[in-house]
Amino acid sequence: MNTKLTRYAAMAAACTVIMSAFCSCGDGTTSNYNGGTYKKDEHRNNNSIVHEDINEATVCAPEYDCDGGYYERPTQASRNESYKEYIETGFKDPKAEPLSTFSADVDTASYSNIRRLLEDGTIVPEDAVRAEEFINYFDYDYPDPEEGRVFGDYVELADCPWNPANKLMMIGIQGKRMPEKETPPSNIVFLIDSSGSMASYDKLPLVQTAFSMLAEKLTEKDRISIVTYAGHSDTILEGASGKDKDEILNALYSITASGGTNGEGGIQQAYKLAERYFIEGGNNRVILATDGDLNIGASSESELVKLIESKRDKGVYLSVLGFGTGNYKDDKLEAIADNGNGNYSYIDSVDEAHRVLVQEMAGTLYTIAKDVKIQVEFNPSQIKSYRLIGYDNRLMNAEDFYDETKDAGEVGAGHSVTALYEVELAQTGDTYRGVQLEFSSEHTAEPPVDNGRSELCKLSVTYKPVGEDGDIYESQLFGMEKYNSEPSESIKLASAAAEFAMLLRNSEFKGSSSYDYVARTATSLAFDEKTEELISLAKLAERLYN
């Protein structure tokens, strides 16, 4: 028998889901929708890999666990995949560096890409792990902002699970939600990589299914164009009304994958159409779907970034959806989305496409604030050291916070941004980490800072509301009144996501973290699909690595 039978069965199951979309387009009923409700991917179990069509008598390959759904011999990631190297941020002394400043980030591509790697039985490249995208993948049920405000905020402190001597500080900002009836009209250009590398089942067919979901949500006030690029760029659809579902779907499913890659030409053509159908006061956006292999030189890449920035400044944003395996270029796609004021998501399944383009459509498409920056000032009389978890490639200089010309992240309607700090409290009095000291004076190398202030931190946020001029600045002070000896489910979930990221990255700051602890923590929480999946992935990672 074929020793990879179970693997091929999994691929066949995924293909079945994709082909169901092909078979239903063009008749006005569209893809996998039934009465406006999307029929989600039922072929993914907790470990994604399924073998329901395999006869029970089938003997699995030696390296494959039929019950666990994973490879016992993990493989290395393809050398053709590329990730940007970065250095993990360490602990800072607030006496020398009192300010921590970073750009907001609502991207989630790192988490879903690593889910794909784990489910494929692949050892995760350390640079593929961006902890902030793990943390921000989950929902923390922050309270909505007060009437008239763009953002609400949330702060909580608890004991640090992987280092009990320290505290964990959770900072969240929640963007205002946008009722569907208040959403502005959209002018969207689907820019689809149709080169030969996109032929596999998890690339172009999944792109077509994903965009068919989004098309189903559009209305007559919206305009849709479709551009493809391979050896050259083609305009497949131009300025169609969002109500013309058949026309949009027929155009989508007419695309086939073949030829080389001319990503630059495709992007330029997409921007031309976006400008031609520009809607003043509307959502004007190019959505790029690709495996990231744009096939452009270094000089052209620099020019491409300049083009994307110039169009961004004119009100045309660019979001990126990554697809596929083998030659995935995460580093290029993240850079393009960052420069285009857009989101960056990795689509590894029909379920993930549904989450990004249907469930979170408002956040994905409608920006409520630009250049969102967060700054935390630490009081050295109360905090001995601190470390921001993640955001390593989004750090900013302290002075950039007040510089309105400095570009930063965008936040969409209903999206939230979460950051975690591990903090070491300053030692005061005659105790050390709660233990009474007999010779306290002998342990102090220098007198402690005493500025007479009991607050721990000052949290500041600045942003440009969409449609308004100038930056808004908001700040608040907080102290140990935010400490919770019985941590909320929100901070437990965020800490589990952070631990999972640190373990996969093999962080020097992971302390006593373990995959088992991540799974047990998540198991103790109120279940939703994301939490259930985190449990499954933590158990899968433990089997792969141990």
Mapping DSSP onto H, E and C, the string for 308-349 reads HHHHHHCCCEEEEEECCCCCCEHHHHHHHHHHCCCCEEECCC
Higher pLDDT, 490 or 61: 490
pLDDT on residue 257: 95
Residue among 235, 226, 234 nearest 208 (CA): 226
Task: Please give the CATH topology (third level) of the domain spanning 180-365.
Answer: Rossmann fold (3.40.50)
For 76-110, write each residue's pLDDT tens digit: 888 889 999 999 999 999 999 999 999 999 999 99
- With a CB cutoff of 8 Å and minimum separation 6, the contacts of 209 are 17, 18, 21, 31, 32, 350, 353
Contact criterion met (CB below 8 Å) for 32 and 26: no
What does the pLDDT read at residue 413? 96
Query: Between helices 298-313 and 263-276, what is the axis angle to 10°?
Result: 10
Name the pLDDT band for 180 (thresholds 50, 70, 90).
confident
Strands 416-425 and 383-389 turn out to be antiparallel
The predicted model gives 482-500 an average pLDDT of 98
Which residue in the block uniquely carries the two structure tokens 């988490």? 111
What is the SS3 assignment for 479? Answer: coil
Q: Hey, is 209 helix, strand or coil?
A: helix
226 or 77, greater pLDDT: 226
Confidence of residue 432 (pLDDT cuts 50, 70, 90): low
Q: Band the pLDDT of 444: cuts 50, 70, 90.
A: low
Question: Per-residue pLDDT averaged across 291-302, rounded?
Answer: 71
* pLDDT above 70 as % of the chain: 81
Q: Is the pLDDT of residue 4 over 70?
A: no
pLDDT per residue over 138-179, tens digit each? Answer: 999 999 999 999 999 999 999 999 999 999 999 999 999 998
Between 125 and 294, residue with greater pLDDT = 125
36 has a pLDDT exceeding 60: no
- Residue 289 to residue 347: CA distance in whole angstroms: 9
pLDDT at 65 over 80: no
Q: Is the pLDDT reported for residue 45 higher than 70?
A: no
* Burial bucket for residue 279 (CB in 10 Å: 0-12, 13-18, 19+): middle
pLDDT in the model for residue 427: 76
pLDDT tops 90 at residue 261: no
| Spatial contact of 536 and 543, defined as CB atoms under 8 Å apart | no
Of the given ranges (24-28, 72-76, 104-108, 312-316), which has the lowest mean pLDDT?
24-28
The region of weakest confidence among 11-15, 36-40, 190-194 is 36-40
pLDDT band, residue 448 (cuts 50/70/90):
low
Looking at residue 434, its pLDDT comes to: 54
pLDDT at 447: 55
In the numeric block, the tokens 């109120």 are attached to: 526
Q: What is the pLDDT of residues 186-211, one digit of tens each?
A: 999 999 999 999 999 999 999 999 99
What are 448's two structure tokens? 């402690």
Listed by start position, the domains of the chain span 5-89+510-545, 99-178+372-455+475-497, 180-365
Average pLDDT, the chain: 86
Q: Is the pLDDT at 14 greater than 60, yes or no?
A: no
Cα separations in angstroms, 324 against 81, 204, 289, 328, 500? 10, 9, 10, 7, 23
Residue 428: which pLDDT band, with cuts at 50, 70 and 90? Answer: low
